[in-house]
Amino acid sequence: MSDKNMPRSYDGPPDYRNVGLHGMSPKTTHDEKSRFNFLAHLNRHLASEILPGVKTAYETRVEPKNPFPNHRNQVRKALLEDSLFQHWSALRRGTMELRQQAGRWVTLRQANELNSKAAEMTKDDPRLVLDANLDIPKYLSSIDHHCMPGSYHDELVPGDVTGAANYDVGIFVTTGGGLGRFSDGGGQAVVQWMQKNRPDFAPKRILDIGGGLGQNVVPIAQAYPDAEVVCVDTGAPVLRYGLARAKSLGVENITFVQANAEDLSRFPDGHFDWVQSTMFLHETSVKAMPKIMKESHRLLAPGGLVMHVEQPQYAADMPLYEQAIRDWDAFYNNEPFWTKMHELDLDQWMVDAGFSRDELVHGGVAAVVDASLFPEHANDDVEDYGRKAAWHIVGGQKSDAVKEAAQ
Amino acid sequence: MTEAIDPLKLAGAKPKGKRPYFLKDPDVERVLAVTMALAQEVAVMRERLDTVERILEEKGTLSQSDIEAYNPPKPIAEARGSWTQEYLARVLRIYQQEIEALDNVNEPSSEDIGHELGAE
């Protein structure tokens, strides 16, 4: 392994040791870091070396036997009969399970320290608002999302944050470092979009719905330090961990509230200037989405913006093969609503929630990372479909009737 | 407070939601999963050995805490990353060959060619 005689230039995941540490970061041994390194590489290998072969297999031996499919499910079912797709899928599923085991081992072996630290850092802090009586909605309680045992809400002991810590340490592995030092490349991308497209926007109150442990809202709170920021999620462990994590990063303007985004009646109409969701809607349901969208519209102040960041929708011009591969996580990585969510007409849902067509906002963003250490979307030609760090924005800006009348 | 947590047992817990199997024989999928877990542990061991070598080369002595604290500078991290790529290419070689074969599905076998060459 002589670095003096490297046969080719390196293009791969950075070392896990580049991941940014904060006050809630679990401690990792040498070998635990090595395990994360291996798993990041394995994910990358499956995407860059084997998945292109699955496409060739589809074109050369699957499609000829199953011509003219008219839906992505037909493509997926035909692929399920192909041995290369079977092996790629078995390896991908197995890699996710190894990742969960590796992250859970790290966090559970130090559960006591992590839970005590979170308790100490959030004790009597009014910025942690928990609701022990909140019902976890079925779309979260019926399955463990992305094969993460206990999901965002289960507590192994009172005050548990180990599930949140596991989620935090594992993002590097699943994305091969694509989300940057603090796994916040999505949040940073949203900030960059806002500063470029709405340079004069000065929100006083910002709401992040389904914000989890707040990794994507922290950069927003940093970019708008005078704003009052609220992060809402149904899971107490992620909120506890999130407040402690944000504080340890010196971010003091976020309140973490345990609530269901379908019913945010605790906040009055027009309370927020910006309502944000980042990779959240696909973890809800077709019944929940209209309620979430109506709430978001109701909570928005005149002139304010709602922004939903998700993977691209399955538009008519997206090849059915691509749709079928993007659907993999829906069927085989416990993201059950992913498939339906990506075929919905989000514009129509925004209109049904109260926006007019000319208030709608669209955009595209890719993860913003420290490119000296982490792979950048712009320089990365490996297509990992639903896991690539590039997203679409579907949003709405409420017209400012008062301001317009005055002009 | 956390007596109830047994990390060894809980780390590998099954997530809620029935597990999909993809291969024609689920037993083969189980063996594949065990094989990849072992491949992971070999990579972990190899990185540890590399760390030991680098520290010894630089300092001539070694302690457990040196190993735990080791943070490779970028060129070394890239060399280690390159090794992992080579390693995965070796372990998963059979898939590379299968993918290459997709470009030539009517490729004759040695037996086919033998028949052809032996024909009068």
- A36-75 pLDDT, tens digit each: 999 999 999 999 999 999 999 999 999 999 999 999 999 9
Q: For residue B85, which residues of chain A lie inside 8 Å, CB to CB?
A: 12, 41, 45
Q: Indicate the Cα dihedral angle A308, A313, A316, A321, nearest 10°.
A: 170
Classify residue A407 by burial, with Cβ atoms within 10 Å: 0-12, 13-18, 19+: exposed
A173-183 b/e (C-beta count within 10 Å ≥ 16 → b)? bbbbbbbbbbb
In the 8-state DSSP scheme, what is residue A253? S
Q: Are A296 and A376 in contact (CB under 8 A)?
A: no
* d(CA A32, nearest CA chain B) in Å: 8
Report the pLDDT value the prediction gives residue A402, as an integer from 0 to 100: 55
A15–B81 CB contact, under 8 Å: yes
pLDDT tens digits, one per residue of A67-102:
999 999 999 999 999 999 999 999 999 999 999 999
Give whole-number Cα distances, A322 to A52, A56, A72, A108, A121, in Å. 12, 13, 8, 37, 45
Q: Is A132 on the interface with B (CB under 8 A)?
A: no
A104–B92 CB contact, under 8 Å: no
Q: For residue B79, which residues of chain A lie inside 8 Å, CB to CB?
A: 1-3, 6, 10
Name the residue of chain A whose CA is nearest to B20's CA: A332
pLDDT tens digits, one per residue of A196-215:
999 999 999 999 999 999 99
Give whole-number Cα distances, A252 to A218, A228, A246, A255, in Å. 10, 9, 7, 8
Select from B12, B48, B85 the Cβ nearest to the Cβ of A30. B48
Give whole-number Cα distances, A397 to A201, A261, A293, B13, in Å. 12, 19, 13, 44
Report the pLDDT value the prediction gives residue A168, as an integer from 0 to 100: 96
Q: Are A26 and B96 in contact (CB under 8 A)?
A: no
Q: Is A339 on the interface with B (CB under 8 A)?
A: no
CA-wise closest residue to A275 among A229, A227, A307, A303: A307
The arithmetic mean of pLDDT across residues A218-226, rounded, is 98
For CA atoms A231, A368, A32, A37, the dihedral sign is positive
A245-265 b/e (C-beta count within 10 Å ≥ 16 → b)? bbbebebebbbbbbbbbbebe
Say what the ipTM of the complex is.
Answer: 0.96
* d(CA B114, nearest CA chain A) in Å: 27
B43–A34 CB contact, under 8 Å: yes
Q: Are B82 and A8 in contact (CB under 8 A)?
A: yes
CA-wise closest residue to A368 among A390, A387, A383: A390
The pTM (predicted TM-score) of the whole model is 0.94
pLDDT of residue B1 exceeding 50, the answer is no
Q: Are A276 and A209 in contact (CB under 8 A)?
A: yes
B80–A52 CB contact, under 8 Å: no
Q: Indicate the Cα dihedral angle A122, A126, A127, A133, nearest 10°.
A: 90
* Measured distance CA(A92)–CA(A328) in Å, rounded: 10
The arithmetic mean of pLDDT across residues A112-124, rounded, is 98
* d(CA A302, nearest CA chain B) in Å: 42
* d(CA B32, nearest CA chain A) in Å: 8
pLDDT tens digits, one per residue of A279-292:
999 999 999 999 99
A65: helix, strand or coil: helix
A111–B7 CB contact, under 8 Å: yes
* Measured distance CA(A126)–CA(A272) in Å, rounded: 19
* Measured distance CA(A264)–CA(A13) in Å, rounded: 40
- Chain B interface mutation, best of A28, A38, A106, highest count of B Cβ atoms under 10 Å: A38
Strand pairing report for A300-310 and A390-397: antiparallel
* Measured distance CA(B51)–CA(A89) in Å, rounded: 33
The arithmetic mean of pLDDT across residues A127-150, rounded, is 96
A394 DSSP β-pair partners: A308, A362
Q: Are B60 and A16 in contact (CB under 8 A)?
A: no
* Measured distance CA(A97)–CA(A300) in Å, rounded: 40
Give whole-number Cα distances, A205 to A122, A192, A230, A299, B56, in Å. 22, 18, 8, 11, 55
In the 8-state DSSP scheme, what is residue A338? H
What is the residue whose two structure tokens read 């407040």? Answer: A243
CA-wise closest residue to A161 among A238, A255, A249: A238
* Measured distance CA(A346)–CA(A313) in Å, rounded: 8
pLDDT tens digits, one per residue of B28-85:
999 999 999 999 999 999 999 999 999 999 999 999 999 999 999 999 999 999 999 9
Report the pLDDT value the prediction gives residue A270, as an integer from 0 to 100: 98
